[in-house]
Amino acid sequence: MDTIIRAENIHKSYRMGRERLSVLRGASLGIATGSFTAIVGASGSGKSTLLHILGALDRPDEGRVEFEGQDLRRFSGRRLNQYRNRSVGFVFQFYHLLNELNVLENTLLPAMAAVGSAGWIRSRTSRQEAACVLLERLGLGGRLRHRPYELSGGERQRVAIARALMNRPALLLADEPTGNLDSKTGFGILEVLKELNRGGQTIVMVTHDDRIAGLAEVVWRLTDGKIETE
Amino acid sequence: MMMFSWKLAIRYFLHRPASWLAAAAVALCTFIVIVVLTVMNGLAADFKQKNHAFVGDCVIASDSLVGFVYDRSFVETLESQPYIEAVSESVAGVGLITQPGANWNIGVQFLGIDSARHSAVTGFADSLYYHRDNPEQAFVPDYAPEQEGCVAGIDLIGGRRTADGGYAHPDRPVPIRLILSSFPLTARGALARGGTDLVSSKTYYVADDSHTGLPQIDGAMVYLPLRDGRLLTGMDSPVERISSIHIRFGPSVSLRQGVERVRGLWAVYLQSQSDRSYSDLFESVRVQSWQENRRSRIAAIEKEQKMLILLFLMLGIITVFIVFVIFYMLVGHKSKDIGILMSVGMGRHKIAGVFLKFASLIGFLGAAAGTLAGCVFLVYINPIEDWLFARFDFQLWDRSVYAIGEIPNQLHPDLLLAVAVSAVAACLAGAMIPAMQAARKETVQVLQVSQV
C-alpha cells in the first residue's frame, strides 16, 4: 500500500517559562493511503503536536514531513495554505465552528476560502449541492440554517467533519474527535469516521483512549517523544 | 474568497454590539465635523464675500489720511482697459456725528463716493434699503429732496435691530438730521484752514441706511457725496486728492491677473508723475486685491478656521483610537476564529483583509449615517433655531450682538465627501494594527484548548 504521508525524525520543543520542554524527540511514522490510523499517548505526550505538524499547522524544529512524496519544508506559504485547504481536513476536539455562520456556511468554509469571487459565483451552486449531500449523509439535512450554538455536541462535531471533507482532502486529521462528547455520541462519531474510511478516506486520529484507538486498523503509540507501532 | 471575507465581515458587524458602538462613534464624529465645518465655512465665506462686496475686486489705496493726488486721466486709463468693468474713487475720513440740539456725539468714519459709480464696483447699492434700485439717488432724502443727504451705517440708526437678528424699516424713511464734523488736513497732514475754521461741519438728512453685514462698517460708517467728502477731509485743495480707487474686473480675468495688470499700469503712471508736485504722496499708495486690502479683518476668521480644522484632526485621532481599542478587543475575542480560518487554508493577508473589511464597513456605515444626519440637521438648522428662540428664547448667536442673519447651512458635496472618506480612512487606520496582529497569530497557539 502507498504511503500518503511520512514523518521522519520529528523534534519539537516549547518554552515553558524559563525552561524548554521537549515534546517530540525524533518521532517517525508513515501512514498508508486508505488506512485508519490512531495515535495514542498520555495527555501531554505530543500527540496533537504531531498531528498539527502533519497538517502543517505547526513546524517541526527538526525532521521532515513528506506528503505524497513532497517535502513540506519546500512549500511556500501560499502552497502550505493550499495544502491545508485541499490536501488535509481537520477535525478538532472542540469542533471549532464559526458562530456567525450557519451549518451550511461552516461546511462551505474551505470551499469559499479556496476560490476568488468569480470562482465562487461560478461554482457556488455545485458546491452548495455537494455540501448539502455531505450534511445529509451525516444526518444534518434538517439543520442547514442552524447556528452552531443551536446544535448538540455530536451534531457540531458532524458539522466539523463535513467541513473537513468539503474539499475532498486525501487525508483527514482528527484531534480527539470524541474527547468532548459522551460515550454514546462519541461512538456515533467514530462510526461516521469508520464509514468514511470504508469509502476510502485516509484518517489519522489522535486519542488518549485505548478503547477508541482499538477501533482503528493501525495504532501508533507515542511515548517519551518517540513513536512505536503496536 | 473575496465574497466570503465580506460575508464574514458583515456577520461580525451584525453580531458584535461593539461594532455598532464603533459605527455610532464614527457617525457622531462625522456629524459633528460636517455640521461645524459647514457652519464655520459658511460664516467665513459669508464674511469674506461681504468684505469683497465692500471694496470691490482691487483697491488702489493710500495708508495716509491725507490721500494721494487725484488724476482723472489715470482713472480714464483704467476704465479703458478691456478687463476692467468699473472704477470708483473714494475719499475716507474720520469725524464726529451728533444731532441738532443734542449733547452727545459719536466717532465715525465717513466715505465720500459717487454712489452710482461706487455701486457699479462694490455692493453698495445692495446694502441700501430705500434706494437699492436707484443708487444714483442714494444721497437724496425722499422726504426732503432739496436737502443734502447722507447714508448712515444701519447700526448707527437706533431702533432698527430686531431681537431675531433682522432689521425693521418703516415703509417710508423717517426724517433724521445728522451733523457731521471733521478735521480737514492739508496735503502735508497739518490741520487745514488754520485759524478760526479748524473744523468742518455739515448737516445732512439721512436718506437711507447701509447694511453691509460687517459690524465695524455698519456701526461706524457714514457715506457722503464725493465732493462733500473732499470738503470735509480737506482733499479739495490745494490739489484734488482721493483716498482710494476701487476697481471691478470683468469675468474674463482672474483676480490675480487683474491685480498684476493694474500694478503694471500704476507703476507706469507713477513714473510719469515723478516730477509732479505732491508726488511724494504716492509713496503710501498700495495696489491690492480685496483679500490683501481686508487681510487684517479676514485673518482672524481664517485663523479660527485653521484652529477648528486642527481640533477636528484631534477628533479624527480619537476616532482612530476608539476603532483601535474596539478592534484590539475584537481580535482577542476572535482568536479561535482566526485559527479556524488558518486551518482551512486562509492566508495571513486574507485574515487581515477580513478585519479591514469589517473596519471599512464600520467606517462606511458610520460615515453614511453621520453624513445623512448632518445634512438633515443642517437643512433644518434655521427652523430649529427659530423654534428654540420662539419657545425658549435661545439663539446660537445672540443676534443683538452678532451681525449674523441666518446660520449658514449650504451643503458642499466636496466637504461631505472629504469628511466621509476621512471617516472610513480613520476606521481603516484604527483597525490596521489589530488586523496585522490577527494575521500574525500562530494557528496552533490560538486553537489550543486554553484559548477556547
Q: Does A97 touch chain B (CB under 8 A)?
A: yes
Report chain A residues whose CB lies below 8 A from the CB of B1.
112-117, 120
Q: Does A218 touch chain B (CB under 8 A)?
A: no
Residues B27 and B77 in one domain: no
Report chain A residues whose CB lies below 8 A from the CB of B350.
113
Instruction: Give the nearest chain A residue to B5 (CA atoms).
Output: A113
Please say if the pLDDT value at position B450 is more than 60: no
Element (H, E) at B84: strand B84-98
- pTM metric for this prediction: 0.77
Residues B394 and B280 in one domain: no
So what's the pLDDT on residue B193? Answer: 65
**Who among B345, B350, B444 is closest to A110 (CB)?**
B345
Q: Are A98 and B344 in contact (CB < 8 Å)?
A: no
Instruction: Give the nearest chain A residue to B334 (CA atoms).
Output: A98
Contacts across the A-B interface (CB distance below 8 Å): 85
Q: Are B1 and A109 in contact (CB < 8 Å)?
A: no
Domain boundaries defined on chain A: 3-99+169-229
Q: Does A92 touch chain B (CB under 8 A)?
A: yes
**Who among A52, A96, A110 is closest to B336 (CB)?**
A96
Q: What is the mean pLDDT of residues B180-189?
A: 84
User: Which B residues 350-369 touch A at CB under 8 Å?
Assistant: 350
Residue B298 to residue B55: CA distance in whole angstroms: 13
Q: What confidence category does residue B401 fall into, taking pLDDT thresholds of 50, 70 and 90?
A: low
Q: What confidence category does residue B165 fall into, taking pLDDT thresholds of 50, 70 and 90?
A: low
Cell numbers linked to B383: 427652523
Instruction: Give the nearest chain A residue to B338 (CA atoms).
Output: A98
Contacts of B334 (CB under 8 A, 6+ apart): B12, B438
**Who among A57, A98, A113 is closest to B337 (CB)?**
A98
Q: Does A100 touch chain B (CB under 8 A)?
A: yes
So what's the pLDDT on residue B197? Answer: 58
Residues B264 and B379 in one domain: no
Residues B212-231: tens digit of each pLDDT: 988 889 989 999 999 999 98
Residue B37 to residue B43: CA distance in whole angstroms: 10
Residues B318 and B444 in one domain: yes
So what's the pLDDT on residue B211? Answer: 92
In CATH terms, the fold of domain A3-99+169-229 is: Rossmann fold (3.40.50)
Instruction: Give the nearest chain A residue to B344 (CA atoms).
Output: A85
So what's the pLDDT on residue B313? Answer: 87
How does the average pLDDT of chain B come out, rounded?
89
Q: Are A109 and B344 in contact (CB < 8 Å)?
A: yes
Residue B360 to residue A64: CA distance in whole angstroms: 42
Q: Does B193 touch chain A (CB under 8 A)?
A: no
Q: Are B340 and A113 in contact (CB < 8 Å)?
A: no
Contact A166, A197 (CB under 8 A): no
Q: Are B15 and A99 in contact (CB < 8 Å)?
A: yes
Q: Nearest-CA distance from B16 to chain A in Å? A: 10
**Who among A94, A101, A121 is closest to B452 (CB)?**
A94
**B60, amino acid identity:** I
Mutate to test the interface with A, among B344, B357, B442 (most CBs of A within 10 A): B344
So what's the pLDDT on residue A1? Answer: 66
**B208, amino acid identity:** D
Indicate the residue among B245, B267, B294 that finishes a domain: B294
Instruction: Give the nearest chain B residue to A79 (CA atoms).
Output: B345
**Who among B11, B337, B344 is closest to A113 (CB)?**
B344
Q: Does A21 touch chain B (CB under 8 A)?
A: no
Q: Which of A39-43, A115-119, B265-269, B417-421 has the lowest mean pLDDT?
A: A115-119
Q: Nearest-CA distance from A81 to chain B in Å? A: 4
Q: Does A122 touch chain B (CB under 8 A)?
A: no
Our count of domains for chain B comes to 2
Residues B32 and B97 in one domain: no
Residue B173 φ/ψ, nearest 5 degrees: -60, 140
Residues B187-206: tens digit of each pLDDT: 777 777 644 455 688 999 99
Helical segments of B180-294, H only: 215-218, 226-233, 255-272, 290-293
Residues B69-111: tens digit of each pLDDT: 888 899 999 999 999 999 999 999 999 999 988 888 999 999 9
Q: Nearest-CA distance from B326 to chain A in Å? A: 18
- The residue with greater pLDDT, B378 or B408, is B378
Contacts of A218 (CB under 8 A, 6+ apart): A31, A32, A35, A36, A37, A38, A229
Q: Does B240 touch chain A (CB under 8 A)?
A: no
What residue numbers bound the domain in which B388 lies? 2-48+298-451
Please say if the pLDDT value at position B309 is more than 90: no
Torsion sign (Cα): A51, A54, A55, A60:
positive
pLDDT of chain A along its 230 residues, tens only? 689 999 999 999 988 888 888 899 999 999 999 999 999 998 888 999 999 999 999 999 999 999 999 999 999 999 999 999 999 999 998 889 999 999 999 999 999 887 777 787 888 889 999 999 999 988 899 999 999 999 999 899 999 999 999 999 999 999 999 888 888 888 888 898 999 999 999 999 999 888 889 889 999 999 888 887 76
Q: Are A116 and B4 in contact (CB < 8 Å)?
A: no
Cell numbers linked to B219: 456701526
Q: Are A84 and B4 in contact (CB < 8 Å)?
A: no
Instruction: Give the nearest chain A residue to B336 (CA atoms).
Output: A96
Residues B376 and B423 in one domain: yes
Chain centroid to CA B420: 24
Indicate the residue among B259, B294, B329 that finishes a domain: B294
Please say if the pLDDT value at position B451 is more than 70: no
Residues B80 and B177 in one domain: yes
Contact A104, A174 (CB under 8 A): no
